[in-house]
Structure 1
Amino acid sequence: MCGIFCLLSFSPVESPTDQRLHQNLSRRGPDSTQDLTVTHAHPFYRCLFSAHVLHMRGALTPQPERDAAGNVLLWNGEIFSGIAVAPEENDTRVMARQLSLCDTPAELLSVVSRVRGPWAFAYYQQAQHCLWFGRDFFGRRSLLWQFDAEAEALTLTSVGGDCSPTGADPWLEVPAAGVYRIDLKAGRVAGTGGVTLEVYPWATGGCGLPSPENVPSNCVATMNQWGLVLPSPVSPLNMLLPEVEVGVLPSSPPSSVVATDLEEVLASRERTGEVDHLNAVLSEAVRRRVQALPGDIRDQSLTDHASVAVLFSGGIDSMILAALADRHVPAGQPIDLLNVAFKLQEPKTQKQQSTKKKKKKPETDQNDPTTDSTNVPKVSEISSPFDVPDRLTGRAGLLELQALNPERRWNFVEVNVTQEELQRTRRERVRHLVQPLDTVLDDSIGCAMWFAARGEGFVTQDGDRTPFSSPAKVLLTGIGADEQLAGYSRHRVRFQTSGHQGLVQELGMELGRISSRNLGRDDRIIADHGKEARFPYLDEDVVDYLNSLPVWRKADLSLPRGVGEKLLLRQGARALGLGPSALLPKRAMQFGSRIAKMENSHERASDRCNRLLSA
Structure 2
Amino acid sequence: MCGICCVVTLCSQRAIPDFLSEDTLHRLRRRGPDSGQQLIKTVSDLSYKCLFSGHVLHLRGQVTPQPLGDANNNVFLWNGEVFNGVHVGDKENDTQVMFYHLTLCRSEEDILSLFSSLQGPWSFIYYQASGHSLWFGRDYFGRRSLLWQFNEGADSAFCLTSVSGYSESGNQWQEVPASGVFKIDLKAYATTKSLSLTLFPWRYSCTEEAAEETCINVLDQVSKDLPSHVCLTVNESKLCLRAPIIPLNKTVSEKPGEYPGTNINNIISVVSVETLQGFLAEEHKKRLVCQFIDVLNEAVRRRVLCLLRDEDQETREVPSRSQKKAHVAVLFSGGIDSMVIAALADKHVPLEEPIDLLNVAFMLKGQAKDRGTTKRLSNHEVQPGLLCPPETCQDGDAKTGAHLSCFDVPDRITGRAGLKELEAINPSRTWNFVEINVTPEELKKMRKQCINHLIYPLDTVLDDSIGCAIWFASRGEGFVSNQGELKPYKSPAKVVLTGIGADEQLAGYSRHRVCFKKHGLEGLNRELEMELGRISSRNLGRDDRIIGDHGKEARFPFLDEGVVSFLNSLPVSEKADLTLPRGLGEKLLLRLAARGLGLTASAVLPKRAVQFGSRIAKLEGHSEKASDTCSRLKLFSVEEL
- Corresponding residue for 1:186? 188
- Corresponding residue for 1:11? 11
Tell me if the contact between 1:187 and 1:197 (Cα under 8 Å) persists in the aligned partners. no
1:269 shift after superposition: 5.9
Tell me if the contact between 2:250 and 2:525 (Cα under 8 Å) persists in the aligned partners. yes
- Corresponding residue for 1:320? 340
Tell me if the contact between 2:144 and 2:544 (Cα under 8 Å) persists in the aligned partners. yes
1:602 shift after superposition: 1.6
3-state secondary structure, aligned to 1:89: coil
Unaligned 5+ segments in structure 1 are 249-253, 351-380
- Corresponding residue for 2:60? 57
- Corresponding residue for 1:591? 612
2:535 to 485, 497, 514: 514
- Corresponding residue for 1:479? 500
- Corresponding residue for 2:162? 158
1:515 shift after superposition: 0.1
Indicate how the Cα distance of structure 1 residues 62 and 594 shifts in structure 2: closer, same or farther if over 3 A, else same: same
Tell me if the contact between 1:555 and 1:565 (Cα under 8 Å) persists in the aligned partners. yes
1:282 to 274, 279, 296: 296
Q: Note the alpha carbon deviations across 1:531-552, whole angstroms, 9 max, x for none.
A: 0000000000000110000100
- Corresponding residue for 1:272? 286
Aligned residue runs from structure 1 range 450-599, under 5 A: 450-599=471-620
Q: Note the alpha carbon deviations across 1:279-332, whole angstroms, 9 max, x for none.
A: 001111011000011254675765521000000000000000000000000010
Indicate how the Cα distance of structure 1 residues 383 and 157 shifts in structure 2: closer, same or farther if over 3 A, else same: closer
2:233 to 213, 222, 228: 222
3-state secondary structure, aligned to 2:131: coil
Indicate how the Cα distance of structure 1 residues 577 and 472 shifts in structure 2: closer, same or farther if over 3 A, else same: same
- Corresponding residue for 1:232? 243
- Corresponding residue for 1:425? 446
1:121 to 116, 124, 140: 124
- Corresponding residue for 1:112? 115
Tell me if the contact between 1:133 and 1:180 (Cα under 8 Å) persists in the aligned partners. yes
Tell me if the contact between 1:36 and 1:50 (Cα under 8 Å) persists in the aligned partners. yes
Tell me if the contact between 1:57 and 1:295 (Cα under 8 Å) persists in the aligned partners. no
Q: Note the alpha carbon deviations across 1:251-285, whole angstroms, 9 max, x for none.
A: xxx99846477557656665422111110011110
Write the distance in 2 (CA, Å) between the matches of 1:165 and 1:345: 34
Aligned residue runs from structure 1 range 102-501, under 5 A: 102-150=105-153, 151-161=155-165, 163-166=166-169, 168-187=170-189, 193-204=193-204, 208-209=218-219, 210-244=221-255, 257=270, 259=272, 271-296=285-310, 302=319, 303-346=323-366, 384-501=405-522
Write the distance in 1 (CA, Å) between the matches of 2:635 and 2:38: 32
Write the distance in 2 (CA, Å) between the matches of 1:516 and 1:66: 31
1:461 shift after superposition: 2.2
- Corresponding residue for 1:368? none
Indicate how the Cα distance of structure 1 residues 316 and 348 shifts in structure 2: closer, same or farther if over 3 A, else same: closer
Write the distance in 1 (CA, Å) between the matches of 2:617 and 2:548: 23
Indicate how the Cα distance of structure 1 residues 558 and 306 shifts in structure 2: closer, same or farther if over 3 A, else same: same
Write the distance in 1 (CA, Å) between the matches of 2:577 and 2:366: 39
Tell me if the contact between 1:247 and 1:558 (Cα under 8 Å) persists in the aligned partners. no
Tell me if the contact between 1:120 and 1:133 (Cα under 8 Å) persists in the aligned partners. yes
Tell me if the contact between 1:6 and 1:48 (Cα under 8 Å) persists in the aligned partners. yes
| Number of aligned residues | 576
3-state secondary structure, aligned to 1:127: helix
Write the distance in 2 (CA, Å) between the matches of 1:237 and 1:464: 49
Identity among equivalent positions (%) equals 57
CA RMSD of aligned residues (A): 2.4
Unaligned 5+ segments in structure 2 are 206-213, 260-266, 371-401, 637-641
Letter in 2 for 1:232: A
Write the distance in 2 (CA, Å) between the matches of 1:413 and 1:349: 24
When the two structures are superposed, what TM-score results if normalisation uses the length of structure 1? 0.90
3-state secondary structure, aligned to 2:405: coil
- Corresponding residue for 1:35? 38
Q: Note the alpha carbon deviations across 1:495-536, whole angstroms, 9 max, x for none.
A: 011110000000000010000000000000000000000000
Greater mean deviation of Cα atoms: 109-118 or 473-482: 109-118
1:566 shift after superposition: 0.5
Write the distance in 1 (CA, Å) between the matches of 2:268 and 2:410: 19
1:194 shift after superposition: 3.8
Letter in 2 for 1:176: A
Indicate how the Cα distance of structure 1 residues 562 and 218 shifts in structure 2: closer, same or farther if over 3 A, else same: same
Write the distance in 2 (CA, Å) between the matches of 1:124 and 1:420: 45
Tell me if the contact between 1:413 and 1:455 (Cα under 8 Å) persists in the aligned partners. yes
Q: Note the alpha carbon deviations across 1:58-83, whole angstroms, 9 max, x for none.
A: 00000000012111000000000100
1:127 shift after superposition: 0.7
Write the distance in 2 (CA, Å) between the matches of 1:460 and 1:403: 17
When the two structures are superposed, what TM-score results if normalisation uses the length of structure 2? 0.86
1:345 shift after superposition: 3.7
Indicate how the Cα distance of structure 1 residues 265 and 492 shifts in structure 2: closer, same or farther if over 3 A, else same: farther
- Corresponding residue for 1:362? none
Write the distance in 1 (CA, Å) between the matches of 2:403 and 2:574: 39
Tell me if the contact between 2:276 and 2:591 (Cα under 8 Å) persists in the aligned partners. no
3-state secondary structure, aligned to 1:600: coil
Tell me if the contact between 2:47 and 2:190 (Cα under 8 Å) persists in the aligned partners. no
Tell me if the contact between 1:34 and 1:52 (Cα under 8 Å) persists in the aligned partners. yes
Tell me if the contact between 2:453 and 2:635 (Cα under 8 Å) persists in the aligned partners. no
Letter in 1 for 2:5: F
Indicate how the Cα distance of structure 1 residues 261 and 84 shifts in structure 2: closer, same or farther if over 3 A, else same: closer
Letter in 2 for 1:197: L
3-state secondary structure, aligned to 2:582: coil
Write the distance in 1 (CA, Å) between the matches of 2:635 and 2:150: 24
